[in-house]
Structure 1
Amino acid sequence: MVGITKANFEDVFPTVETAIRKAEFIALDAEFTGLQLNKQTKSTLFDTSEERYAKLRRTISNITICQIGVSAFVKDPDSENKYIAHTFNFYLYPPVFGPVDVRFTCQASSLRFLCKYNFDFNKFIYDGISYLNAEQEQQIQQYLDRKDLFQGVERDVDESAIQKLLSTVAEWMFGSETDKPLEIVKDDEDLLYTQDYILHSELRNRFPDIWTTIDKTKITIEKVGEERRTALEKEEVQSKEQQATLLKNSLVGFSRVFRLLTEAKKPILGHNMLMDLLLYYDKFHKYLPRSYKEFKSEIHKLFPVIIDTKHITNALRKPLEKTDLLKSTALGSLYEAFHSQKGQQYVIHTPSIALGPGCEHYLEAEFPHEAGFDSYMCGYVFLRIAHIETFRDVLSTEVVPCSFRRYLHSTNEYVNKINIIRANLNYLSIDGEDPVSERPDMLFVKSKKKSYKLEAGQIAQWFSPYGSVDISLKGPNSALVATSHFGCARDILKNFKRHEKIAVSKYSMWKHSPVVRNAVIAGTLLSGGLCAWVLWSSRKQSA
C-alpha cells in the first residue's frame, strides 16, 4: 500500500496493525529534510560515538521526517519457504495545534536530492499525517483539559476563508429555504485543511439557532429552535470526551504505528540506520536525551532486536568476497545483486519474497529513495544474505528451507550493531559497550619552517589521493590528520617522508600534545623539587 496520507490513514490503520502483528520482522526507512545542521555538526573521522551522538542530536532537533516506509515481512501460511512483504509508504507532516507548532530546518541539498527522485512535496505538506512524541502529547492533553473544545481556541487559519463561510451561512439564514439543511462542499482548500472544531466553533457561536455536522467532504447546517439547540448541546456534552479522543488520535497520527512497533517487539531492520533511529526516537517517542548511554538503553528497551543491513554487509564483505554479490554495500546495489538470478540461486532453497497488496507496481519499476520501496529492499536484502550466511559452511545436500528464527540465530553476532559512517569506529553497539576503535593512529603534521603556515585545504589536497582524510589544525604550524584506513595512513607516511614543507609522523599523545607534555614537565619539576626538599630536610636534621 503506497501513498498513505491523512485522508486514508484511519482506513488503512487496521491493515497496518494486522501486518505488524503477523510479521516475522519489520524493515523501516525514512526520508528527512536535512542531514546536518551546520559545519559544527558535520561528521568527521575524529568523532567518537558520544561526539557523533551529540552532533546528530543537535541536527535532529532541527529537522523533520517527511516520509517513512514500513515493510512487514509475513511468513506465507500456505508455503514453508515464502514471505509476503506488506509495504506501506507514509507521508508525514508535523502537527499544528494549540501549543504545538513545530519549527524545522530544510537543507537545500536534501530537498534537491528528494526532487531528483520525484518526491511529492504536495503530499508532504498538504496531506502529511500528524505525529507527536510523549512530551508534545502531554502538552496537548493539558491544553484540552483547560479549554472547552469549541471555545477560545488559539488557531492558525485563513480568516478570509472563515469569513466567506460565515457570509454564505448568513445569506442562507435570511433566505426562504431554511426548512432544508444547507450543505457546503469543502472544495476550498482552506476549509478542507481547517480543523473541524474551529468550523463548529465559529458557526455555532455566530448563529445561536443552527446546528452543524461535518464530515470529510462537506459541512451540513440545520436551522433549529432554541429548545432543540439546548437538547443537542446536552447530548454533545456527553460525547465531548469522545470527540477529544478522536481529535487527539488524529494529532498522534503516525505515532500510533510507532507504538504498535514498540509493543510488538518484532526485529526491526534498517540500512545505515543510525540517523533514522534517532529520528524515530525524537519524533515519535521522546525528545532525545543528552546522554548517549541513556539513549542506547531506552532504544534497546523499545526495540530489543535491531538489525542494520549496512553493518552486516560490511562485516561479510570479505568472507563472501567470492560470491561477487557485495561489491557495493549501497542499498540499491545490494538489492540489484540479490535480486539477480545469481543472487536468488547462489544457495538453493532461498526463500521466495512476494509483494503484498497495493505494491504491484514495484514489479514493473524500482523507486529508489521512496521510503516504502527502500524499506522493502532492506528486508529483501536481509532475507537473501541471512540465507547465504546460515548455509555458508553447509553441504548443498543439507540445505533445507528454514524458519526465520534460524536466520536470526545465524546472524546474531550482528544484532544491535549499528553502522556509523566517517567516525573513529565502524559501528556502535546498542546493547553493550561500543567496540574499541580499529581505525589507524592519527597522523601529526608539522611545518618544517615556522614561517610556513599550515592550511587545512592544502593538507587535504595533498593527502586525499590516498584515501579519505579529516584535518584538525592545532595551531599555525601543526595539525592532526585522521585517515579512513591503514593503507591511506601508510601511503601518506611513505610519500611525505621527505616533503620539503611538512613533516608527517604517527601521532603520540606524550610527544605531540602540549597539554600532556606540559603536565609531564610540571610533574618532573614537582617531583625534582620534592626530592631536593627531602634531601635538604634530612641534611638539616642530621646537622
Structure 2
Amino acid sequence: MEITRKNFNEQFDNITKDLKKSCFASFDAEFTAIIAGECFKHRLFDTNEERYDRIKNEVSKMIMTQVGLTFFQYDRDHDTYVATGYTFHLCPQVVGDIDQSFIFQASTLNFLCRHNFDFNKFTYEGLPYLSKAEEAKVRKMLKEGSNYLLRTLEMTDEKLLQQYCSEVAKWLATSKEGTLYLDIENPLLRYIVHNEVRARFPDVLTTDSLGNSHKVLIYRDKYVEGANSAPVAILEENLMHHLLGFSQIISLLASYHKPIIGHNIFLDVVLMHNQFIGPLPKKYSTFKKNINEIFPIIFDTKHISHEMSKKLTFDEVWKSNALQDLYEFFSEGKCKKLQHGVNLIRLSTPFDVNQSYHEAGWDSYCSGYCFIRLGHWAACENIGKFRPVGPTEKLAALAHYSNKVNIIRGAVPYMNLVGDDPPSHRPDLLHLKCLNERFNIGKVSSVLAAFGSIDIKPYGSRTALIAASSHYAVNNILKQFRDSRDYRISKYSVYRHSVAGRMAIWWGGALLTGSLVIYIIHKKVNNN
C-alpha cells in the first residue's frame, strides 16, 4: 500500500497494528542521488572509518524520497508468513527557520524516470519528517511562543493570516452567527491562527473542528455550553503530529525493537541517521552507537548471503548477490538446500511485480523473503535435517550475522554496529616502483588489469601502493613482475617503504652509532 499525506492519518493505526504483530520488519529506501563522485568510490584500501569520513558530508545533501517497510507476521497454525507491505512517499518541509534541503542529480532523475517514479506524489503528497535534532528545535520554537513563528512566516502566509483575522473581525461586527469555520490546510499556519485569534479577540473560543483536521472552529461566546477551548498543549501536539509525519513510524520501529532486515544497507543507515536522528557525528564510533541505540537488531541479507554462499558449490550458488537475483533464486525454488519443510510466504496485498523492482515497498518485501529462506536453511543445518522452522529458530540460527552490515569493496567485509569492526580480510598491500619513468596511474592500471580486481594509490613520484582482492592475484603479480625491467613490485613494508619508517631506521642507526662512539671514547678515557 502506498502511504502519502492523504491517507497517512487514517492508516496510522493499521501500520501500528501490523508492526506490533510482526516478528520482524524489512526495510528499503530510494534516494535523490546516485552514489557518484570521488568520495563515493569504493576502494580496497578503505577502512570503514575512512569511508564514513569521506561520505558523511556528501550524504547530508541526499534524502530518502521513498521508504519501503514490509511487516512479516507468522501464522503458526498454517506455518505461513503473511507480509504486509507499505511504500511511504517522503518530501522535505519548511518549519520556522528549519529549511530542509537536498540535491537531485540529473542521473538520478533519469534512473527514477526509467523506473516510473511518481514525482507528483513526492512533491505534492510526500510525508513530512523531522530528525530528533529538528524536533527538539521546533519544540523550543513553540515554547518561545507564536511571536517567534510569526517572524518566520513567508509573505504569502503572513497575508493569509491577516486575511483570516480580518474575516473574524468582520464576522464579529456584522454577523449574528454563533460559529465561524476557517479552512486552513497548512498545519503551522493553522496553529498560528489559533493563537493569533485568541490574542486579538479574547472573548472568542477556538477549537479544531471534529471530523475535519483542516478547519478551525470559532465560537462567538467563549462560555458557550458544551464547547471547550482547545488547550495550547493539545494544539502543539496536533501540530507536531503533522510536522513529524513519517518520523513517527521510525519512532514506532524503535519502540517495538523488532529486528530490521535490509539488503546492502550501509548507505541506508547513514542516511537514516542524518534524516531521522540528526547530523552525522564526526566520530564513526558515535554514529554506530547512535544507530544501535535506535535499532538494536539489524540484519543485512547481502552480508548473510555472501557468507552462506561459501557453503555451496559453483553449480548450486545464486547468480549474484544483487537483491533481484537472490530473490528469484529462492522464489523460483532453485535452492537445493530448501526442498522440504519450507514455509509459504504470501503478501496480504499483491504488488505489481513486473514494474516493482527499485520500488521501495517491493524491494523491502524481497529482502524479508530472502531473509526467511536464508534463516530456514541456516536453522535446518543446525538441526541436522530439513523440517518446518518457526521465526524464533530462524532468528537464532542467523544471530551470528546480527548487526553486521555489508561493505562493498573495502578493506574489511562488514561494519559491526555493536563492537569493533573485523580485521582486514584482504591480502597485504604491494609496493610498486617505476624503474625507468615517473609513475603513471593509467599506464600501471592497464598493465595490472589482467590480474583481476585491484586498486592503485600513488605513493610518490615513482612509487605506488597496490591493493588486490585476493591472495591469488597478489601471488600472480609478484611472480609475473619478479624480473621486470620496468617495475619493481614487492610486499609493502612500512619500515622499508614509508618515509616515517625509513626515518625511524636512519635515526635508530644514527643513535646506535653515536652511542657506540661515546662508549668507545668513554672507555679510552677511563683506561688512560
TM-score category by the smaller chain? 0.7 to 0.9
Letter in 2 for 1:481: I
Q: Is the 8 A contact 1:417 1:428 kept in 2?
A: yes
1:423 aligns with 2:421: no
Alignment of 1:488-503 (within 5 A): 488-497=473-482, 499=484, 501-503=486-488
Q: Is the 8 A contact 1:31 1:68 kept in 2?
A: yes
- 1:247 corresponds in structure 2 to 239
- What does the per-residue CA deviation read over 1:306-349, in whole Å, with 9 as the maximum and x for residues that have no partner? 21100111111121236634221100100111110334983311
1:459 aligns with 2:457: no
1:472 aligns with 2:457: yes
SS at the partner of 2:310? coil
| 1: CA distance, partners of 2:296 / 2:31 | 25
- 1:6 corresponds in structure 2 to 5
1:436 aligns with 2:423: yes
Residue 151 and residue 32 in structure 1: after superposition, are their counterparts in 2 closer, same or farther (change >3 A)?
closer
Please, which of 338, 342, 355 is the counterpart of residue 346 of structure 1?
338
Please, which of 323, 340, 360 is the counterpart of residue 350 of structure 2?
360
- 2:98 corresponds in structure 1 to 100
- 2:256 corresponds in structure 1 to 264
1:447 aligns with 2:434: yes
Q: Is the 8 A contact 1:36 1:59 kept in 2?
A: no
Q: Is the 8 A contact 1:99 1:139 kept in 2?
A: no
Q: Is the 8 A contact 2:165 2:197 kept in 1?
A: no
1:197 aligns with 2:191: yes
Query: Shift in Å at residue 138 of structure 1?
Result: 1.1
Query: Shift in Å at residue 355 of structure 1?
Result: 0.6
- 1:411 corresponds in structure 2 to 398
| 2: CA distance, partners of 1:244 / 1:126 | 24
Q: Is the 8 A contact 1:132 1:255 kept in 2?
A: yes
- 2:319 corresponds in structure 1 to 327
Which stretch of the first structure deviates more once superposed, 145-154 or 290-299?
145-154
SS at the partner of 1:321? coil
Residue 42 and residue 64 in structure 1: after superposition, are their counterparts in 2 closer, same or farther (change >3 A)?
same
Query: Shift in Å at residue 296 of structure 1?
Result: 2.5
- 2:107 corresponds in structure 1 to 109
Query: Shift in Å at residue 170 of structure 1?
Result: 10
- 2:283 corresponds in structure 1 to 291
- 2:23 corresponds in structure 1 to 24
| 1: CA distance, partners of 2:313 / 2:140 | 58
1:389 aligns with 2:378: yes
| 2: CA distance, partners of 1:121 / 1:461 | 42
Residue 24 and residue 258 in structure 1: after superposition, are their counterparts in 2 closer, same or farther (change >3 A)?
same
Alignment of 1:133-152 (within 5 A): 133-148=131-146, 152=150
What RMSD over aligned residues (CA atoms) do the two structures have, in Å? 3.4
Q: Is the 8 A contact 1:446 1:504 kept in 2?
A: yes
- 2:386 corresponds in structure 1 to 399
- What does the per-residue CA deviation read over 1:380-435, in whole Å, with 9 as the maximum and x for residues that have no partner? 0111122122224766xx53212211112222222222110121111122222222
Letter in 2 for 1:430: L
Residue 209 and residue 111 in structure 1: after superposition, are their counterparts in 2 closer, same or farther (change >3 A)?
farther
Letter in 1 for 2:359: E
SS at the partner of 2:83? strand
Q: Is the 8 A contact 1:185 1:217 kept in 2?
A: no
Q: Is the 8 A contact 1:344 1:384 kept in 2?
A: no
TM-score, normalised to structure 1, is 0.85
| 1: CA distance, partners of 2:289 / 2:213 | 46
| 2: CA distance, partners of 1:140 / 1:170 | 28
| 1: CA distance, partners of 2:39 / 2:202 | 58
Query: Shift in Å at residue 280 of structure 1?
Result: 1.9
Residue 457 and residue 184 in structure 1: after superposition, are their counterparts in 2 closer, same or farther (change >3 A)?
farther
Q: Is the 8 A contact 1:326 1:334 kept in 2?
A: yes
Which stretch of the first structure deviates more once superposed, 81-90 or 167-176?
167-176
Please, which of 350, 362, 365 is the counterpart of residue 373 of structure 1?
362
TM-score, normalised to structure 2, is 0.88
- What does the per-residue CA deviation read over 1:207-228, in whole Å, with 9 as the maximum and x for residues that have no partner? 9999886786965787x76xx3
Which stretch of the first structure deviates more once superposed, 398-407 or 16-25?
398-407
| 1: CA distance, partners of 2:45 / 2:355 | 37
Q: Is the 8 A contact 1:6 1:127 kept in 2?
A: yes
Residue 118 and residue 489 in structure 1: after superposition, are their counterparts in 2 closer, same or farther (change >3 A)?
farther
SS at the partner of 1:445? strand
Query: Shift in Å at residue 175 of structure 1?
Result: 13
| 1: CA distance, partners of 2:217 / 2:404 | 58
Unmatched 5+ stretches in structure 1: none
Same amino acid, percent of matched pairs: 32
SS at the partner of 1:470? strand
Query: Shift in Å at residue 50 of structure 1?
Result: 1.4
